[in-house]
Amino acid sequence: MAIRSVVKIGDEILRKKSKEVVEFDFKLADLLDDMVETMRKADGAGLAAPQVGILKRVVVIDVGQGIVELVNPKILKTAGAVSEIEGCLSVPNKKGYVIRPKSVKLEAFDRCGNKCIIKGEDLFARAICHEIDHLDGILYVDKLEEGRPLMNEK
Ligand code: CO
C-alpha cells in the first residue's frame, strides 16, 4: 500500500468524467488499498479515484462506520433533502453548505466484481453523493446552497 498525492482544485483531471471499471484485477485492489490509506492519512471521510489522478469509477468512504468501497456506483433512488456543511480533500481549508438527499439507494460492485445494493442515510448518503459527483467531474463548490458562500475552515 502507498499514500498517493491528492489532486487539488484547479487541476483539469477533477473536471473529467471517469470510466467504468471493467477488470476487477490486482490493479483495482491496489488502487482501493492506496485510496483507503490516502484517505486515512488525510483524515478524510471519502475519496474518489480522480482525486488521486485516476479516471476510474472507484470510491472509498469512511464516515465512522467502517470502510466502504464502491466500484461503478450508480444511484437508483434518492429521498429527502438536507442542507449541511461539507468539505473536500481537493479543496483544502474550505467548507460550504450543500443540499443533498437525506437517503440514497445505489448499486455498486465490490473489489471482486460482486454487485451489491447499498442504502445510506444522512452523512453516509451525503458522502456517497459527493464522491459519485467526483466521478462526473463535479465538485461540491459547484453546488453550494444559494446565499451561503464558501467559508474558510479555520
Ligand atoms: Co471531495
Q: How far apart are CA 34 and CA 148, in angstroms?
A: 34
Decide if 153 is catalytic. Answer: no
pLDDT band, residue 1 (cuts 50/70/90):
confident
Residue of 20, 121, 131, 153 marked active site: 131
* Predicted pLDDT at 41: 96
Q: How far is the CA of 94 from the centre of ligand 1 (A)?
A: 11
Q: How far is the CA of 114 from the centre of ligand 1 (A)?
A: 25
Burial of residue 146, with CB atoms counted within 10 A of its CB: 0-12 exposed, 13-18 middle, 19 or more buried = exposed
CATH among 3.20.20.140, 3.90.45.10, 3.40.50.450, 3.40.50.80 for 12-152: 3.90.45.10
Q: Strand order of the sheet with strand 91-100?
A: 82-88, 91-100, 151-152
Q: How far is the CA of 112 from the centre of ligand 1 (A)?
A: 25
Q: Where are the domains of the chain?
A: 12-152
pLDDT band, residue 62 (cuts 50/70/90):
very high
Cell matching residue 16? 473529467
Instruction: Read off the pLDDT of residues 5-54 as tens digits, 9 standing for 90 and up.
Output: 999 999 999 999 999 999 999 999 999 999 999 999 999 999 999 999 99
Max intra-chain CA distance, the chain: 46
Quick count: other Cβ atoms within 10 Å of Cβ 119?
A: 13
Q: How far is the CA of 75 from the centre of ligand 1 (A)?
A: 17
Instruction: Read off the pLDDT of residues 89-99 as tens digits, 9 standing for 90 and up.
Output: 999 999 999 99
Q: How far is the CA of 48 from the centre of ligand 1 (A)?
A: 7
* Predicted pLDDT at 154: 73
Quick count: other Cβ atoms within 10 Å of Cβ 25?
A: 11
User: How many degrees, rounded to 5, is the angle at CA 152 between CA 148 and CA 154?
Assistant: 135
Q: What is the pLDDT averaged over residues 58-71? A: 97
pLDDT surpasses 90 at 4: yes
pTM of the model: 0.97
Q: What is the pLDDT averaged over residues 122-144? A: 98
* Predicted pLDDT at 48: 98
* Predicted pLDDT at 153: 85
